[in-house]
């Protein structure tokens, strides 16, 4: 990939508009009837798009690597996912919609059950219900307040999961987990692995003690575990590196959060594709880069619901012409990673990619699916190469060297 | 790409000969009749060459990056164009045929117009003619001589452009430009951005003052701007890394200069393809690596002259059999970058590449153009991978590891 400092030195602003459509987890492998979801789906509009595009695949991180949503999106946003990493705590917080600030340290947390000797006997507190979770989070909140000038915030997630955010100065993230990882052991205190985190360790451990005291009357959720202490990473903004004025049209908190991390303005939108298109149209004049995220393809893939994923693809195909009726100098349609229904999870398989623009040299591929794209002219590129191509097609990169 | 130190450790000398033919900017995208220039051209000899070659593309720097001639050639000469960079001043000097030495600091310069308060009112001195430029350069030369033991040389370019070369010890290149970049501002003095350049800053600034004094009676060109201060970069020579005895047969100063930077002996030749072939034949026994540069394909592409580029390709096709009648163990025919007539400029599109040699496994491609090469067996490689393949085909790389 091109070093960011070189991209920064040649990026230039102009009025042209780029559209990056991410059909989350859209790629698959043959499953029902020996076909992938994209092969099975009836997609006249995506096929038409393929016929005017260069097609191929991108590899989200590297061969054989199954990426989480964080690294997968960083890659297609143009950032090396091995150089820029997002802590587990931060990802969990983004995923439930917490808007983090720079002086906030956060952690993924579980409610857990300990015995009278403080030994963890259930790391998930019997998988308490989400409702129960909310009730207990309220108790924690009421009894917590500040610790040595640090404000502690609690955000319930699903079942036994929640997020803790410590807001204050000098709270660095170099901490070991307060989690024994297995049952039959006591909860370890956080240890600072760097001097700059010693204050954070004291605050976290004092919170841990207080929480166990406050929860002592709970039957199941009488303790907490914390891991993945992290802060929002210092990722240079797309405005600064690529000279873009970017926005995100996404319905799920995780993707909104990831978009915000790289500088995108996260637009308010509704839950449906129709809402997202309305938002795109209303904001068309205000931005020059649009990240359009469609979640359903990934959700159905994660469920192992092949037919559901096929329908999700067909639903998107229906609205594509309306999206493309707006004028973009470059459009990419791809996934962040693959989520084959056969695997019921993210996977390492290359993600199908089609790029259209005035200066694209279309190949002979006329169908939008993995088998067809294998004959595409883009071949297999890395996810970090996608954005430079879109910038080039839009005249947003000056010549490198003379 | 392979790190140079590894290539150096396995490169070995032998008597076999490599020919690298660069049809500058030969790659294109569909334009007239939906065809690229190579598709349109009638090229029986290039087609025959394709049929006995492996075909595909190389990416000059990286996806989406439009390279200047410097980085594009460094890549096909085997050097990472992001690690080895050539300053603007040096490239400008190479472009007008200045032969730089190691203790020379050079700058791109403009004649400009300032008002009586020293404010720049025209950064290009009304784009004075090249003749006028030569006259004023003579005046500068006559009145300049040495500054504190540093010899200052002036080389006129086209219109308002010229090159200044400062020859002396301790003249490092870490200097800010003497150019306000826009009109309505005074000319800034050069500032050293590293201690090692403080002497250079003093010399440059004293030259600037003297030049303005000398030019005070000129109506338009009464001042100078200087930018891109640079010295020839410390690029390891092809002799040292690749154990080659390389020469260049090129007609334009820029390419001769680039070839010299990496250690090639630049052969005297005439302006025509026929002259170049004569030079190739006469020197066939003296070298083991021949860089043969054909400029016309790029010039016509830059002019947006599709038919002219087609003819330039056909002209080369005519002489190819004569070139190939000499015996080479490996021949590559490619461009340094693409210059589609549709874009009238260098572009980021992959550059078509065909490689022939005794140990090549030819693919099924029998035509020499981008659409055909998309089915080629080389796929898309990086420019820095071209030279190692040529070395391998010539038995010039030992086994790596045991």
A4 CA: distance to closest CA in chain B (Å): 11
- Give the residue on A whose Cα is nearest the Cα of B29: A361
**Considering the entire predicted model, what is its pTM?**
0.91
Q: Does the beta-carbon distance from B346 to A6 stay under 8 Å?
A: no
A25 CA: distance to closest CA in chain B (Å): 24
Residues of A in Cβ contact (< 8 Å) with B157: none
Which burial class, exposed, middle or buried, applies to B117 when counting CB atoms under 10 A from its CB (0-12, 13-18, 19+)? Answer: exposed
Q: Within a 10 A sphere around the Cβ of B322, how many other Cβ atoms?
A: 15
A83 CA: distance to closest CA in chain B (Å): 18
- Please state, in angstroms and rounded to a whole number, the distance separating the CA atoms of residues B94 and B256: 8
- Please state, in angstroms and rounded to a whole number, the distance separating the CA atoms of residues B66 and B337: 8
Taking residues B173-186, what's their average pLDDT? Answer: 95
- Give the residue on B whose Cα is nearest the Cα of A1: B62
A385 CA: distance to closest CA in chain B (Å): 6
Q: Does the beta-carbon distance from A402 to B69 stay under 8 Å?
A: yes
Q: Residue B32's pLDDT is what?
A: 86
Containing H/E element for B291? strand B289-294
Q: Residue B93's pLDDT is what?
A: 92
Matching residue, tokens 């797309």? A238
A122 with A282: CB under 8 angstroms? no
B374 CA: distance to closest CA in chain A (Å): 6
* Closest residue to B82, CB basis, from A3, A381, A402: A3
Q: Does the beta-carbon distance from A361 to B68 stay under 8 Å?
A: no
Contacts of B11 (CB under 8 A, 6+ apart): B241, B242, B243, B244, B391, B396, B397, B398
Residues of A in Cβ contact (< 8 Å) with B29: 359-361
Residues of B in Cβ contact (< 8 Å) with A397: 64-66, 348
B30 CA: distance to closest CA in chain A (Å): 7
Q: Residue A1's pLDDT is what?
A: 84
For chain B, the residues whose C-beta falls within 8 A of a C-beta of chain A are 29-30, 36, 61-72, 81-82, 85-86, 88, 91-92, 340, 342-343, 345-349, 370, 374, 379-380
Q: Report chain A (402 residues): mean pLDDT per 10 consecutive residues.
A: 94 98 98 96 98 98 96 97 92 89 94 96 94 95 90 93 95 96 96 96 96 94 96 95 98 92 95 97 98 97 97 98 98 98 97 97 98 97 98 97 84
Q: Does the beta-carbon distance from B62 to A399 stay under 8 Å?
A: no
Residues of A in Cβ contact (< 8 Å) with B27: none
Q: Residue A155's pLDDT is what?
A: 96
* Closest residue to A359, CB basis, from B29, B36, B92: B29
Q: Residue B402's pLDDT is what?
A: 85
Q: Residue B361's pLDDT is what?
A: 97
B159 with B122: CB under 8 angstroms? no
- Give the residue on B whose Cα is nearest the Cα of A397: B65
Apex CA A233: angle with CA A231 and CA A236, to 5°?
155
- Give the residue on B whose Cα is nearest the Cα of A387: B64
B82 CA: distance to closest CA in chain A (Å): 8
Q: Judge whether residue B88 has pLDDT over 90.
A: no
DSSP B80-106: -TTTS---HHHHHHHHTT----TTEEE
H helical segments located in A325-395:
370-373, 386-393
Which is nearest to A118 in space by CA: A51, A188, A35? Answer: A188
B95-105 residue pLDDT tens? 888 989 989 99
Q: Does the beta-carbon distance from B63 to A385 stay under 8 Å?
A: yes
Which is nearest to B349 in space by CA: B308, B315, B383, B305? Answer: B383
- Give the residue on A whose Cα is nearest the Cα of B27: A361
A228 CA: distance to closest CA in chain B (Å): 35
Best residue in B60, B61, B64 for a mutation probing chain A (most A CBs within 10 Å): B64
A362 CA: distance to closest CA in chain B (Å): 9
Q: Does the beta-carbon distance from B379 to A379 stay under 8 Å?
A: yes
Q: Does the beta-carbon distance from A397 to B65 stay under 8 Å?
A: yes
Residue B366: pLDDT band with limits 50, 70, 90: very high
- Please state, in angstroms and rounded to a whole number, the distance separating the CA atoms of residues A204 and A227: 11
A358 CA: distance to closest CA in chain B (Å): 10
Q: Does the beta-carbon distance from B63 to A363 stay under 8 Å?
A: no
Q: Does the beta-carbon distance from B348 to A2 stay under 8 Å?
A: no
Q: Does the beta-carbon distance from A401 to B71 stay under 8 Å?
A: yes
Q: Does the beta-carbon distance from B66 to A402 stay under 8 Å?
A: no
Q: Does the beta-carbon distance from A399 to B86 stay under 8 Å?
A: no
For chain A, the residues whose C-beta falls within 8 A of a C-beta of chain B are 1-3, 6, 10, 359-361, 363, 377, 379, 381, 385, 387-392, 397-402
Q: What are phi and psi of A348, to 5 degrees?
A: -90, -5
Q: Residue A145's pLDDT is what?
A: 79
H helical segments located in B123-263:
130-142, 198-214, 238-242, 253-261
Residues of A in Cβ contact (< 8 Å) with B372: none
How large is the C-alpha radius of gyration of chain B? 23
Residue B1: pLDDT band with limits 50, 70, 90: confident
B130 with B198: CB under 8 angstroms? no
In this complex, how many residue pairs, one in chain A and one in chain B, have their CB atoms less than 8 Å apart? 79
Q: Residue B97's pLDDT is what?
A: 87
Best residue in B38, B58, B59, B65 for a mutation probing chain A (most A CBs within 10 Å): B65
Q: Residue B287's pLDDT is what?
A: 98
Q: Residue A350's pLDDT is what?
A: 98
* Closest residue to B64, CB basis, from A3, A388, A401: A388
Q: Judge whether residue B118 has pLDDT over 90.
A: yes
* Closest residue to A400, CB basis, from B63, B68, B379: B68
Residues of A in Cβ contact (< 8 Å) with B68: 399-402
Q: Residue B144's pLDDT is what?
A: 84
3-class SS at A214?
helix
- Give the residue on A whose Cα is nearest the Cα of B254: A402
ipTM: 0.90
Domains and CATH numbers, chain A: 4-84+236-393 (3.40.720.10), 91-230 (no CATH)
Residues of A in Cβ contact (< 8 Å) with B71: 400-401
């Amino acid at each position: 990939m091109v070093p960011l400092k070189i991209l920064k030195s040649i990026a230039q602003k102009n009025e042209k508009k780029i559209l990056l459509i991410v059909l989350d987890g859209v790629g698959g492998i043959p499953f029902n009837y020996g076909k992938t979801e994209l092969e099975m789906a009836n997609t006249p509009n995506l096929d038409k798009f393929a016929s005017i595009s260069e097609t191929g695949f991108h590899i989200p991180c590297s061969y054989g690597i199954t990426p989480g949503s964080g690294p997968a999106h960083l890659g297609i946003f143009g950032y090396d996912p091995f150089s820029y990493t997002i802590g587990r705590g931060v990802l969990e917080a983004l995923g439930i919609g917490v808007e983090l600030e720079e002086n906030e340290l956060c952690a993924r947390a579980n409610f857990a059950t300990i015995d009278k000797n403080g030994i963890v006997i259930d790391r998930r507190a019997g998988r308490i219900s989400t409702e129960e979770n909310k009730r207990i989070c309220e108790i924690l909140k009421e009894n917590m307040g500040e610790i040595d000038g640090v404000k502690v915030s609690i955000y319930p997630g699903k079942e036994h999961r929640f997020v803790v955010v410590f807001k204050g100065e000098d709270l660095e993230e170099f901490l070991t987990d307060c989690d024994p990882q297995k049952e039959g052991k006591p909860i370890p205190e956080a240890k600072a692995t760097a001097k700059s985190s010693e204050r954070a360790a004291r605050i976290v451990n004092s919170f841990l003690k207080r929480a166990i005291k406050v929860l002592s009357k709970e039957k199941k959720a009488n303790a907490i575990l914390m891991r993945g202490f992290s802060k929002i990473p210092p990722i240079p903004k797309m405005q600064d590196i690529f000279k873009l004025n970017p926005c995100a049209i996404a319905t799920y908190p995780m993707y909104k959060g990831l978009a915000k991390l790289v500088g995108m303005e996260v637009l308010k939108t509704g839950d449906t594709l129709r809402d997202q298109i309305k938002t795109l149209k209303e904001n068309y004049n205000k931005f020059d880069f649009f990240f359009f995220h469609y979640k359903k393809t990934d959700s159905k893939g994660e469920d192992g619901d092949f037919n559901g994923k096929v329908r999700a693809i067909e639903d998107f195909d229906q609205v594509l012409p309306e999206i493309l009726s707006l004028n973009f100098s470059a459009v990419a349609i791809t996934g962040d990673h693959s989520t084959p229904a056969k695997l019921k999870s993210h996977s390492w398989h290359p993600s199908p990619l089609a790029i259209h623009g005035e200066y694209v040299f279309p190949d002979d591929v006329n169908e939008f699916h993995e088998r067809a794209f294998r004959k595409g002219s883009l071949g297999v590129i890395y996810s970090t190469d996608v954005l430079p191509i879109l910038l080039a097609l839009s005249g947003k990169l000056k010549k490198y060297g003379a």
